[in-house]
Structure 1
Amino acid sequence: MKNFNKKIILGISAALLLLSASCTSDLDTKPKVELSLENLLAKDPNAVEGLLSKMYGTFALSGPNGPGSQDISGPDPGETAFLRGIINLQDFTADGMKNRWGDDGLDQLTTTSDWNPRNKFFRYLYDRVYYIVPQTTNIILALENVDVNNEEQIVSELRFIRSLAYYYMIDCFGKGVLVNESNYGTTVPLPESSRTELFNYVESELLAIEPSLPLNTGYGRANKSVVRMLLAKLYLNAEVYTGTPRYDDALQYISLVIDEGGYNLAENFVMNFSGDNNTSPEIIFPLIADAVVSQSYGNTTYIVNGSLGTETMPLGQFGATEGWSGHRATKAWYSLYGDLETSTDDRAALFWTEGHSYEMENYKQWTDGYPSIKFRNTNFTGTSNATSFSPTDFPFFRLADAYLIYAECVLRGGGGSESQALTYVNAVRQRANASAISAAELNLNFILDERGRELNLEGQRRTDLIRFGKFTGGTYLWPWKGNSLNGSAIPSTYNVFPIPTSALEANLNLTQNPGY
């Protein structure tokens, strides 16, 4: 049972008393409250668990009161959810996945063209980050004045949640404002912080909390391995973020995740993406979903329902009652497996081909391209009932990714063992019944392809392509890149997203990213 879901729900009533929706114009002021955090926690110290759960929940849910509620403003609450934004910005902008709905803003993402600071999907992620940051800071400050059980660990978890939000500012926008305990509540617009300044802050926060967290804090909560995984990802991309490679540091922390975390590859790849994936031994940090108590149009429901269509697919086979006919993979993803009909790779079977075309000649045509059936609502073991909302947790961090990070760091000169790197890569492949590779075949191009085979539709592809120098420019083309059927070059400007207009208007200290 996903007990953490119940904590999220139990914490909502307390959270509603304390946390008002934050938007960019509110970043330098305290949230309005009906009862001060200090007073509430003094009366009921156990309320902190609900508040903590609420902050974890903001990565998976659009708001605190069901799928129609929202923490940040937008005409469609489901569109504003963090995970939905990550899929839109990380997968649809990259090579492997496209969306056909033609929504204003979403079309521009799926064709990597005409990006501008008024695109609502850029604003949703930006506002989500600056909803999380002041709210976690507010709770941290309140805890300085009251005594609650396990306070050091709770504060560390809140600092992790805040750091994770800032990580996406670093990765997606390249700069922002730094809100923390030292300046929270000021009425003066805060100065702009550079990508390096935000990087250094997140690094310092993670290094500070890593020793204080235990190896196990319970499913869905930050522990040592979760913090180490985020540190490894920060260091893995440090050359992009700061200009200084840190592959040795990435390897140090990813090795700790592998050696000390106690995680194991799931016996079957699909186990990680099924309705009972909370039983997988591989998932290091999930975003929790539940078909009843934590419904959202923005968590894995967006992935499952968006990838199913009643015109060509049997919804019940995947435990769903709705199909939105939106998302399809392109040949840039499924061609990585070679011939899908003859491939022994289990991952090659996770595309729906019947009634669909291999080529995506029209990205707005549902039958052009193969829908991914990687995520589903059905349980991996036992029976399950079809549901409108997905019960499947999103595997935000998992061990297979850690293995591939280790191998990449070795290949990039970060130290480690080449033979161990090969062992890890082959463990990932052989779990999927793909053939083992030789040491001569293990190179960076292979790693990028293997990351695509293993991790596509998990919110990582854009970042990977940028790190490998293949996102912008014209050296690597994919269907509909640059709004062209066969792909065309896009400017280096697109390595970061534009700062939303609403943010620039709210704080005149902010400047637009070059080229927008």
Structure 2
Amino acid sequence: MKNRIKKIIVLITITFFMASCHDDLNLSPIDPDSFTQEDVFANAAEAKGALAKVYAGFALTGQQGPSGQPDIADIDEGFSQYTRMLWNLNELTTDHGVVGWGDPGLPDLHGQIWSSSNDFTEAMYSRLAQVVSFSNSFIQNASAIDDPEIQTYLAEARFLRAFAYYNLMDMYANVPLTSEISTELPEQSNRSEIFAFVESELLDIQNTLMDSGSNEYGRVDKVAAWALLSRLYLNAEVWIGMPKYNECVTYSSNVMNSTYSINMNDANGNGTAYDELFLADNDTNGAQNEFIYTINFDGTSSQTWGGTTFLVHAAIGGSMNPTEFGVNGGWAGIRTTKNLVNKFAVDIDALNSALGTQSDWGLVGDATENGWDGPDMEMYQTGTNQFALYADLASGFAKFRFNEDWGNNYGDTGADGTLEPGGDNIAVPSPGTYYVTLDLDALTYTITPFASDSRAMFHSDGQNLEIESIPAFEDGYAITKFKNVDSNGNPGSHAPGDFADTDLAMIRLPEIYLNYAEATLRGGGGDMNLAVSKINEIRLRAYGNDSGNISAGDLTLDFVLDERSRELYWEGQRRTDLVRYNYFTTGSYLWPFKGNEPGGIAVGSYRNVFPLPINVLATNPNLTQNEGY
């Protein structure tokens, strides 16, 4: 039903709320009084359309489409969309992203030098405040309708409000907490109070929300409440100074035991089911089975210059072909740093060390690192007369040789997979990482491409891994993760190719697996073997086989953080993760241009949260700016 809720969103193109609702968090959107509450809240069927408007607060930006009647003033409308701001604040500020555009305040985000008047931190605050306002108005007005179905709608609106406050608490720490319409200036709340509110709301609505998987696609069910509780409890020690890892394990377990499942349907037949999560038909190609909460987009019915339209267009530049991504052009702006790229690098030394002891049998040839003159690339003994090696090889030829002695070498005459003393050179058709085996008993061998992590979706042709200058698009690898094509390669519904159909999951099941593993490692009382098996479920999809599987000894906190990076990059969580690990502002972990220095430097810890907007402080004397700003 990309369905029914999307159609409802575009039909309800005017807001239905009283002007007073916007005083809740003191922002200045347009006057919404174009439609009366008597019309919208006449019955449950009409109220469902009003609920769609609350959902649309995270997806859209105005009253008529991508631009023209914005619902937040004083910033470019496309910039103000929630998921675009989420990328700016939670990905661009980290090792996951850089942007070449020079819009005032935008370069400051990656440089971690933003001021208290940054347009983008203000826009996110206003967007979240508006969702709270919309939710409060819906809850008050819909509560008067005498229909059992309304209780589900109210629970969904409370979830959306809790999700907005979760973001506000994470990003801004101490914000006003309002749960009803009021014209009075609200008092400032602290993180503990907001945490308690979000927690109590989610606990209270969990059994009112629809059962697992039974709601319309795009609307939340009780599993979404459990999943957000899992995320809330994982960050509790940072936000309120109290560890709640046991609770994180409990609610992560609830999610893992629900009807949601990892998508393993390789709908486009390219060898992995990971990319299906980010295609234009991800509401039907199997990806939807792991989407717990999504923000829906439609290139025809719900247009915005944010959302996945931004993620697709902005990541295309250089030698990239926009038609392969289902759009009409690239914006040549966003790409990533070497820190993310290197998280997918194969550690050949570690793989080889795990094989056994080094032997005198080796590979020689122009496909090897030292050419025909050697020295040989020595293999590792895995059993009696059994040898193996992980090796980076070039295209060319190779042979097996003992102790660098041409008097004892094997080749393959006839290229039939069997070895003969002094036989013909063995062809290596293309460069890459290979797993090579040698069986001296059977006189056979294999040279097999090593299965790499399919989540590494980078465009490197014409791109430099090192970033010398941020404005140049060619500095930094481009990301090919999001596309506006379906599993058959067809472009999205918008014929000119401007707007994307691809939905964006805010919470999906692999995150909960990773939450469970991290909380278990932090003392949450989970099952370590279960944590390992769940991580391996994610990695099985990534590698296409069990070559990427880990053991309990591999499961460390830093491994989980890196796995979160590999699985969830550009999905809006990286800053929160780095703050939780105390890596976001400290010198313990650096990336290019952190602190606005090419090599990266530590910055003040106050930047773990963003400043409250200047205009909000100016209109509400009850508020105090966050420390450091």
TM range (shorter): over 0.9
Report deviation, 1:75: 3.6
Partner of 2:49: 50
Report the counterpart of residue 302 of structure 2 in structure 1: 294
1:396 maps to a residue whose letter is: M
In the other structure, the counterpart of 2:341 is 334
Q: Aligned residue for 2:207?
A: 211
What one-letter code is carried by the residue in structure 2 that aligns with 1:12?
T
For residue 446 of structure 1, what is the amino acid of its counterpart?
Answer: F
Aligned to 2:414: none
Structure 2: distance between partners of 1:147 and 1:12: 26
> 1:192-216 CA deviation, whole Å, 9 max, x = no partner?
0001111101111111100111222
**Residue of structure 1 in register with 2:355 after alignment:** none
Deviation at 1:285, TM superposition (A): 1.2
Q: Work out whether residues 297 and 389 of structure 1, in 8 Å CA contact, stay in contact via their aligned partners in 2.
A: yes
2:12 corresponds in structure 1 to 11
Moved more, 336-345 or 454-463: 336-345
The reply to whether residue 515 of structure 1 matches residue 628 of structure 2 is yes
Secondary structure of the residue aligned to 2:579 is: helix
Higher Cα Rg: structure 1 or 2?
2
TM-score under structure 1 length normalisation = 0.94
Distance change in 2, residues 1:483/1:407 (3 Å): same
Contact kept? 1:41, 1:146, Cα under 8 Å: no
Q: Structure 1 residue 394 and structure 2 residue 393: aligned? A: no
Give 1:293's aligned amino acid: S
What one-letter code is carried by the residue in structure 2 that aligns with 1:207?
L
> Which residue of structure 1 aligns with residue 381 of structure 2?
none
Which whole-Å deviations, capped at 9, do the CAs of 1:241-270 have from their partners, x for residues lacking one? 100011111111111111023333343000
Which one-letter code corresponds to 1:455 in the other structure? L
User: One-letter code of the match for 2:510?
Assistant: A
User: Equivalent residue of 1:101, what SS?
Assistant: coil
- Confirm whether residue 323 of structure 1 aligns to residue 330 of structure 2: yes
Amino acid across the alignment from 2:227: M
Write the distance in 2 (CA, Å) between the matches of 1:313 and 1:260.
40
2:281 counterpart of 1:276: yes
Deviation digits for residues 210-230 of structure 1 (CA, Å, limit 9, x no counterpart)? 011122211111101111111
Q: Does 1:123 align with 2:233?
A: no
Contact 2:21–2:137 (Cα < 8 Å) also in 1: no
- Counterparts of 1:349 and 1:449 in 2: how far apart (Å)? 13
Aligned residues: 509
Give the C-alpha shift of residue 45 in structure 1. 4.1
Structure 1: distance between partners of 2:28 and 2:244? 33
Structure 2 CA distance for partners of 1:171 and 1:414, relative to 1, 3 Å: same
In structure 2, what is the Cα distance between the partners aligned to 1:396 and 1:86? 10
Q: Per the alignment, do residues 67 and 149 of structure 1 end up closer, same or farther by CA in structure 2, a change over 3 Å counting?
A: farther
In terms of fraction of residues, the more strand-rich structure is: 2
SS of the aligned residue for 2:505 comes to: strand
| Counterpart in the other structure of 1:73 | 73
8 Å CA contact 2:16, 2:34 repeated in 1? no
Match of 1:491 among 583, 590, 604: 604
| Deviation larger for 340-349 or 153-162 | 340-349
Aligned mates of 1:450, 1:124 — CA distance in 2: 30
Alpha-carbon distance between aligned partners in 2 of 1:204 and 1:106, rounded to the nearest angstrom: 36
What does the per-residue CA deviation read over 1:56-105, in whole Å, with 9 as the maximum and x for residues that have no partner? Answer: 11111112320003221134100111111100000000111111102111
Q: CA deviation at 1:318?
A: 1.2
Q: How far, CA to CA, are the matches of 1:259 and 1:74 in structure 2?
A: 45
How far apart, in 2, do the equivalents of 1:126 and 1:448 lie?
Answer: 27
Aligned-partner residue type, residue 475 of structure 2: D
Residues 481 and 27 of structure 1, relative CA distance in 2, 3 Å threshold: closer
Matches within 5 A, 1:372-383: 372-381=479-488, 383=490
Structure 2 CA distance for aligned equivalents of residues 327 and 195 of structure 1: 32
Tell me the distance in 2 between the aligned counterparts of 1:346 and 1:196. Answer: 40
Tell me how far apart the structure 2 counterparts of residues 349 and 190 of structure 1 sit (CA, whole Å). Answer: 46
- Show structure 2 runs of 5+ residues with no match: 266-272, 347-391, 393-431, 434-449
Asked if 2 retains the 8 angstrom alpha-carbon contact of 1:29 and 1:185, the reply is: no
Aligned CA distance change for structure 1 residues 459 and 481 (closer, same or farther; 3 Å) = same
Contact kept? 2:24, 2:183, Cα under 8 Å: no
1:89 is matched with which residue? 89
Structure with the higher fraction of residues in helix conformation? 1
Once residues 61 and 488 of structure 1 are traced to their aligned partners in structure 2, the CA distance between those partners, rounded to angstroms, is 36
Tell me the residue number matched to 2:321: 314
State the TM-score, normalizing by the size of structure 2.
Answer: 0.78
Residue of structure 2 aligned with 1:432, choices 542, 549, 558: 542
Instruction: Please tell me the residue identity of whatever aligns with 1:169.
Output: L
Letter in 1 for 2:157: L
For 2:238, which of 226, 237, 240 is the aligned residue? Answer: 240
The amino acid across from 1:246 in the alignment is K
Corresponding residue SS for 2:294: strand
* d(CA) in 2 for partners of 1:62, 1:266: 34
Do the aligned partners of 1:232 and 1:251 also contact (CA within 8 Å) in 2?
Answer: yes
* TM superposition shift of 1:382: 5.8
Aligned AA (1:80): S
The Cα shift of 1:43 comes to: 3.9
Identical-residue share of aligned pairs (%): 38
Q: Deviations over 1:104-126 (max 9, x none)?
A: 1111001112x211001011011
- Is 1:351 the counterpart of 2:458? The answer is yes
